[in-house]
Amino acid sequence: MKRTVIQLLHEVSNIHPDKNYLSEKQANNWVSTTFKEADIKSLYVAATLRQIGFKKEDKIALLSEGRTYWVLSEFGVLKNNCISVPLSIKLLPEEILFRLNHSEAEAIIISQNNIEKLFPIWSRLENKNLKIIFLDNDQKKISAIIEKLKINKDQQFFIFEEMLTSGENLLKTEKDIMQKVEDEIIEEDTLTISYTSGTTGNPKGIMLTHLNYWANSKDAYNSFIGYLFYKTLIILPLDHSFAHTVGIYIALLNYMTLYFVDAQGGNTNIVRNIPSNLKEVQPQLLLTVPALTGNFMKKIIDGVEKKGGFANWLFKSGINAGVKIHGDNYNKTSVFTKIVNFIPYKIANAIVFSKVREIFGGKLEFCIGGGALLDLKQQNFFLSLGIPVYQGYGLTEATPIISSNTPIVSKLGTSGKVLDGVDCRIIKSDGTEAKVGEKGEIVISGLNVMKGYFKNEKATNEVLVNNKLHTGDMGFYEEDNFLMVVGREKALLISQDGEKYSPEEIEEAIINSTDLIAQAMLYNDHCKNTTAIITLETAKIKSFVQKNNIKSEEQLLEEIKKSFYIFKQQNEYKNSFPNKWIPSNFRIVDEHFSEKNKMINSTMKMVRFKITETYKELIDNMYKPKQNINCEENKKVLRKFFE
């Protein structure tokens, strides 16, 4: 039996044909598609694609919010032996243009919420015959698109629902032909070209095969055996490699039902609809990233603080008690610790935590975290709350899961145990394998390792050496054989003496310990001391100024300075970081790092080279004599709070 994701869909559609796989909000109702229906309808799509003229290895881009038609589209593309090119809805038109041109896309499957991103780039597409497959059936909108782009409706514009009908009719006579097309698919065929988020320059197109996805899905499933028929609300975009593999393919093995956040009325409604959708769906698990859990944590804390009094005191006491009871969630805590903290924890859990859990629908058992390093404070917080976030580690080039904590075995502060089918070694700079506790580059091999970068042999050869993937991430194995990831090699701080250090944990400590600071990027490029560029939580600053009767920018700057360093006094971070890597100087900037100014990428990670490039003058000034935090640049930014 061939190891392809199409085979995974066939298997579950035969075993549980009537179980719901995909569910989305249409008007005010949730409309579901079963595993069997998904298998059949995606074949309709494949048959129509073949009739239109798409052939093996043609690239078809996909730009849409998460929805049923997204999944049916991708399976349809794959069943016709074409290659899917998933794109983020957060991309700017120029970024979409690069990906469409570089991937040599023959078509784009696109939703109404995203179609206008094509307008400014249409004339600059290298493929002048790029076909549009439109996921919505708004005839007025369709007419406007055709007129705007001046395209031939019959040859270049196709409506997804019409393709389903056409495909159903075609299969009455062409079922054997489509079976032949599927029979020709082999495990090594490229399934997707997934573009990196571009934190270090132009994005690269990662070629992942059927075997890559099949192997990673099976290995991850084996780590989470027993969690069958769960419901999950897909909050992350489906192009995100983590959501792509877990949300679409591992869901087939676990027989999960996927609910997509309601995006009716535009992409801006997605975030707004998460709270109501969580209550409607009542998911048992969620896929998340640190930026999302961090946002949840801050909103929960803010909400409880507004209640004030006894509720706020009980909440904080309960969290602290929970942290002590659970410890690292692997090694047993002492009986004395459990006894001392048992009553405050149980009272908080019954009175406050249970109500907080209702925010997530009331049935959420755990979250699986990926995408970036998850701060220990967040892990402690959600475990105490009764909704543990099981942190994992991976990258798109590994399809993407390499390791994960699970409900079966987990240890806070780590990235969990490496999957059984993945060989993961820590290689030191001299090329030798590191011992337990020694840091080095994470190097992996296995059936989940990518085929290579599309049209980029040089970059492929740099990371794939003897079939081993050099991740560029630094890490080590701790004493219990849990993987510890300490950050990207290219993001490392480098001191004057050449010593290196990952900044991410300190950055997370800073922003998770204060309400006043929104973002922080640390910098040290062969310098004596470390510095930082920070942005502020504007609304919180305004409230803080009024509440504390702050009269001047000098006074406010002193408070921000205290807030910046408060993490050093907290239990989670006390004595955790060497002094040389804690910033001795920082500059406040007015504009937040965002996707719009390209300082945040589509996976919510800071684009360090872009921030450094933008604020080079400020950074350079921090290294000049007599330049400290109490400088005119910082006061100037704060002056607006007193005007």
CATH code of 178's domain: 3.40.50.12780
User: What is the C-alpha separation between 446 and 198, in angstroms, rounded?
Assistant: 25
> pLDDT confidence of 643, banded at 50, 70, 90?
confident
> For 15-19, 154-158, 390-394, 569-573, which range has the lowest pLDDT when averaged over its residues?
569-573
- Residue 571 confidence (pLDDT): 83
Q: Is the pLDDT of residue 497 over 70?
A: no
- Residue 327 confidence (pLDDT): 96
In a domain, 113, yes or no: yes
Q: Which of 260, 264, 258, 289 is nearest to 277 (CA)?
A: 260
Q: How many residues does the chain have?
A: 643
- Residue 200 confidence (pLDDT): 46
In a domain, 300, yes or no: no
- What range defines the domain where residue 630 resides? 492-642
- Residue 429 confidence (pLDDT): 84
> For 252-261, 346-355, 607-616, which range has the lowest pLDDT when averaged over its residues?
607-616
Q: Is the pLDDT of residue 602 over 80?
A: no
Could you tell me the CA-to-CA distances from 493 to 61, 523, 531 in Å, in that order? 37, 6, 10
Look at residues 187, 210, 233 and tell me which one is the last residue of a structural domain: 210
Convert the pLDDT of each residue in 615-642 to its tens digit. 999 999 999 988 899 999 999 999 999 8
Place of tokens 């409706």: 153
Look at residues 210, 234, 267 and tell me which one is the last residue of a structural domain: 210
3-class secondary structure, 523: strand
DSSP bridge pairs for 495: 527
For 144, other C-beta atoms within 10 Å of its C-beta total: 12
Convert the pLDDT of each residue in 148-183 to its tens digit. 999 988 899 999 999 999 999 999 998 899 999 999
In a domain, 25, yes or no: yes
Q: Which of 377, 313, 294 is nearest to 573 (CA)?
A: 377
Convert the pLDDT of each residue in 433-464 to its tens digit. 999 999 899 999 999 999 999 999 999 999 99
In a domain, 625, yes or no: yes
Q: Is the pLDDT of residue 572 over 90?
A: no
> For 243-257, 291-305, 331-345, which range has the lowest pLDDT when averaged over its residues?
291-305
Q: Is the pLDDT of residue 198 over 70?
A: no
In a domain, 401, yes or no: no
- Residue 199 confidence (pLDDT): 44
pLDDT more than 90, % of the chain: 81
| Domain count within the chain | 2
Convert the pLDDT of each residue in 392-429 to its tens digit. 999 999 999 999 999 999 999 999 999 999 999 999 98
- Residue 129 confidence (pLDDT): 95
Contacts 24+ apart (CB under 8 A), 451-458: 451/188, 451/190, 451/207, 451/208, 451/209, 451/212, 452/207, 453/204, 453/205, 453/206, 453/207, 454/102, 454/103, 454/193, 454/204, 454/205, 454/206, 454/207, 455/102, 455/205, 456/204, 456/205
Q: Is the pLDDT of residue 488 over 80?
A: no
- Residue 92 confidence (pLDDT): 85
User: What is the C-alpha separation between 593 and 596, in angstroms, rounded?
Assistant: 8
Which pair of structure tokens corresponds to residue 326? Answer: 């659970």
> pLDDT confidence of 226, banded at 50, 70, 90?
confident
Q: Which of 412, 416, 376 is nearest to 394 (CA)?
A: 416
Look at residues 181, 210, 239 and tell me which one is the last residue of a structural domain: 210
Which pair of structure tokens corresponds to residue 374? Answer: 């998850």
Q: Is the pLDDT of residue 256 over 70?
A: yes
For residue 366, report the phi and psi dihedrals to the nearest 5 degrees.
Answer: -165, 165
Q: Is the pLDDT of residue 290 over 50?
A: yes
Which pair of structure tokens corresponds to residue 257? Answer: 């039902």
Read off the CATH number of the domain in which 558 is found. 3.30.300.30
Q: Is the pLDDT of residue 329 over 90?
A: yes
Convert the pLDDT of each residue in 352-376 to its tens digit. 999 999 999 999 999 999 877 788 8
Which pair of structure tokens corresponds to residue 552? Answer: 């001047």
Which pair of structure tokens corresponds to residue 331? Answer: 């090694």
Q: Is the pLDDT of residue 254 over 70?
A: yes
In a domain, 79, yes or no: yes
Could you tell me the CA-to-CA distances from 155 to 62, 90, 152, 188, 295 in Å, in that order? 19, 29, 5, 32, 45
In a domain, 308, yes or no: no
